[in-house]
Structure 1
Amino acid sequence: MEEKRKYSRTEIDEPAYVSSGGSVMPCVVRNISREGAAIDVDNPAFVPQHFRLVMAKDPSIVHECRVTWIRKNRIGLTFMKIADAVAEPSPS
């Protein structure tokens, strides 16, 4: 199978939350890159097309996402903004 991703994915197993319109649903991030991720959820039918992915270990890490594909309980996401590889310190 040909790899079509621009950035390679890193396999992880981290808890996170799908956040949209005041509702929050737990999920597990299975892999992530600068441009997207794959998450596992209990019921994909309750995941909206656009939402925020909030990392449980560091709630300051939030990705605006859209659903790209769904296969059983796994959902492929595209980040609306490409994440920076390394956060730049803010000027003082």
Structure 2
Amino acid sequence: MEEKRKHPRTEVNETAYVSSGGSVMSCTVRNVSAEGAAIDIENPAFVPARFRLVMANGSSVHECQVAWIQRNRIGLTFVETAPT
């Protein structure tokens, strides 16, 4: 299968949190690139269209938008935030 992504993804297995509006859900980051990631989460129905992905080890926080959902896996696009 031909790779169509601009940036290659790196396979990982790291705990992170989906954070939105005071709600936090645990997830597992399965792969990541400069532009997005894929996460596994117990119940994707409760994940909003936009949220903050917070890595459990404190290494990074990303503003995200859901690109696709397949079963318990969600593809994310990292969203640039305007400076305040």
Give the secondary structure class of the aligned counterpart of 1:57: coil
- The aligned residue for residue 29 of structure 1 is 29
- The aligned residue for residue 46 of structure 2 is 46
Give CA deviations for 1:29-84 in whole Å, capped at 9, x if unaligned. 000000000000000000000000000011x5110000000000000000013xxx
Percent identity of paired positions between Structure 1 and Structure 2: 73
Cα offset for 1:2? Answer: 2.6
Structure richer in strand, relative to its length: 2
Aligned residues: 80
TM-score (norm 2): 0.91
Question: 1:69 and 2:68 equivalent?
Answer: yes
TM-score (norm 1): 0.84
- Which sections of structure 2, spanning at least 5 residues, go unmatched? none
- Which sections of structure 1, spanning at least 5 residues, go unmatched? 82-92
Give the secondary structure class of the aligned counterpart of 1:45: helix
Alpha-carbon distance between aligned partners in 2 of 1:57 and 1:44, rounded to the nearest angstrom: 22
**Max Rg structure:** 1
Give the secondary structure class of the aligned counterpart of 1:78: strand
